[in-house]
Structure 1
């Protein structure tokens, strides 16, 4: 009979074991599952928050990248515009310098030509004066030979008298 009690079912023991099982399940649920679930929910919420922050940071980074690319594009366009303007300005200045140099060269050429013409006239006048002086000398020598001493003295006296009257 002792063996039969081990294999058999005693109603009070069975009810006590069922009550014990429910009490254990309640205690496990109350003190183990609830804190574990709360901890899991906190971790899930933290992970979700971190994911949202990462997505926000990525969105911000994409916006900054787009703005940076736009600024770089505008800077390149502005640099190209400045370069084009500088090239046009340099071409205009170069043209002006060439025109100014050409006009200065023309002015120098005309001045040199007028200086040459003036020097030529001066040289011709000097030669005329020299030729005139030589002609007077030659004429004086010719006249000296033909004019006598008395005629010569008479001419000088007349000249002195004329000069005295003129002054």
Structure 2
């Protein structure tokens, strides 16, 4: 079957010139679209491609900057943590040093107080021994006079008796000193 023999209704060209004019108009329309419309579409497509590509590049650049900022922040944070750890260690060592210094000062002060107290006790003891010896000398003379039954008013006799008694006392305090010190 031939296309011309088909019943196409109003689409059937009555003159063959209509087909030629239709083909020429189709070619003219194709040429006009190719010269005017397609370049505009190409230009618009290129602009959109550049815009999208620029947006992608800007996004990649922003992402790289954000990543660099994050790395910088993390490095600063790590440095801050290291510095804080160093400060804590320094504070601990300084605290230990201060405690040790205070302990040494307290020990020195305790030793000084102990030495002063011992010196004071020794001085008071010596003073008490001197006072007791003088009193014991008088009491010994009186007691000896009563025991002997004679008056010991003679200074030489009294002095000799007191000296003997005191020398016997001088030998005994070394034993009594150790007992006194052990009690303290």
TM-score (norm 1): 0.68
Q: CA deviation at 1:86?
A: 1.5
Matched, 1:82 2:87: yes
User: Could you tell me how far apart the structure 1 residues matched to 2:62 and 2:13 are?
Assistant: 67
Matching residue within 13, 18, 27 for 1:13: 18
Structure of higher RCO (CA pairs closer than 8 Å, 6+ residues apart): 2
Q: CA deviation at 1:29?
A: 2.8
Which stretch shows the higher mean deviation, 93-102 or 129-138? 129-138
Q: CA deviation at 1:129?
A: 4.6
Matched, 1:112 2:117: yes
User: Could you tell me how far apart the structure 1 residues matched to 2:130 and 2:91 are?
Assistant: 57
User: Could you tell me how far apart the structure 2 residues matched to 1:55 and 1:9 are?
Assistant: 64
TM-score (norm 2): 0.62
Matching residue within 34, 37, 40 for 1:32: 37
Deviations, residues 99-146 of structure 1 (Å, cap 9, x unaligned): 22111111111100000111122223333455567789999xx799xx
Which stretch shows the higher mean deviation, 49-58 or 113-122? 113-122
Q: Which residue of 2 aligns with 1:58?
A: 63
CA 1:116/1:143 → structure 2, altered by over 3 Å: closer, same or farther?
closer
More helix by share: 1
Matching residue within 12, 27, 35 for 1:22: 27
CA RMSD of aligned residues (A): 2.9
**Structure 1: unaligned runs, 5 residues or longer:** 145-167
**Structure 2: unaligned runs, 5 residues or longer:** 6-11, 146-150, 154-184
Matched, 1:48 2:86: no
SS of corresponding position for 1:68 = helix
CA 1:91/1:58 → structure 2, altered by over 3 Å: closer, same or farther?
same
Q: CA deviation at 1:33?
A: 2.3
User: Could you tell me how far apart the structure 1 residues matched to 2:23 and 2:84 are?
Assistant: 87
Deviations, residues 65-105 of structure 1 (Å, cap 9, x unaligned): 11111111121112111211211121122112112211111
